[in-house]
Structure 1
Amino acid sequence: MRHYQIYLMKDQYASDYLGKEHLLYILFKDFSSSAGKSSWIIGRQILFVTKRLPTYVLKQYINQEMKYNGNIRYIDDVYYVIQKEKNGNIKSSAKLRIHNRVMILSAEGNYEAETILFECIRKCANSFLAVDLKSERYGWLKPIKERKLI
């Protein structure tokens, strides 16, 4: 199973860390394995570079997608997506929990179900960073364009 933590980065840090996402990944990885005072310090650093999630707006985007995609369900503050094959077997599934500063997306099977949720999330803001600590994968949901200065 794949587990993603999705953060909304402050715009300044999103552009500052363009191409250096591995440094943000290390920050989140260090936080997950830290304890005590170092956990508190790293937690404060994460609070400094991230923003509160616009939960109302996020839910509006996902609810709008629910109208067009019958595979999305909302039960007890969790969004579920289940993609089935023609014979009824599940080919992919994903669930999304939205908290104040982080979203947790868990998925298994192929990438179809999680892609549906990622597409809804990326419509909401430009600087969402998804981190999968177990698989050591990370990246922007909506890649930021590099500014070209003349």
Structure 2
Amino acid sequence: MRHYHIYLLEPEVAANYFGKEWLIFQLFIEGETANTELKEIVQKQIKYISSTLPSLKIRKNLDQTLKMRSDFYVLNEHYYLDVKALESKAVLKDHGHFITVSASGSYQAETVFFEILRKVNSCFFAVDFGNKNYGWLNPVKQVNYI
């Protein structure tokens, strides 16, 4: 099973750390594994570089995009997508300061959620602590000045 924590980072952070995503990942790892005193400091740093989620906009986009699908449902503010034909399941939950997506099977269901989120904002950063995967949902385009 894959578990993603998805944070909406400030646009300046996204622009400045494009290509240096491993530094952001290290910060999130420290936030999960540090001792109590250091963990508190790191959590403040994470809060500083991340934005408040536009929860209403996310819910609206999820509902509008997925309402016609028979494999989509909402239960206790959890958004479920169960694509039986592809053996793919995913659950999205808004925690206020970050979003979690838990998925199993093929990547189809979680990709649907990721596509909706990246249309909401281009600065979403996903971290899968268990598999040590991380990255932008929508890669920030880098401007090259010659």
Alignment correspondent of 2:34: 34
Q: Indicate the RMSD between aligned Cα atoms, in angstroms.
A: 1.1
AA aligned opposite 1:144: V
The one-character-per-residue Cα deviations of 1:88-112 (angstroms, maximum 9, x if unpaired) are xx70100010021100100000001
The residue number in structure 1 matching 2:118 is 122
Corresponding letter in the other structure for 1:117:
F
CA distance, structure 1, for counterparts of residue 5 and residue 122 of structure 2: 16
Could you list the runs of 5+ residues in structure 1 that have no partner in the other structure? none
Give 1:73's aligned residue.
73
3-state SS, counterpart of residue 43 of structure 1: helix
1:104 pairs with one of 88, 100, 103: 100
Q: Matched residues in 2 for 1:8 and 1:102: separation?
A: 7
Q: Which residue of the partner structure matches residue 17 of structure 1?
A: 17
Q: TM-score, normalised by structure 2?
A: 0.96
Give every structure 1 segment of 4 or more consecutive aligned residues whose post-TM-superposition deviation is greater than 4 Å. none
The 2-side partners of 1:11 and 1:68 are apart by: 33
TM-score when scaled to structure 1?
0.94
Q: Secondary structure at the match of 1:123?
A: helix
| Pairing 1:144–2:134 present | no
- Rounded to whole Å, the distance in 2 between the matches of 1:11 and 1:44 is 18
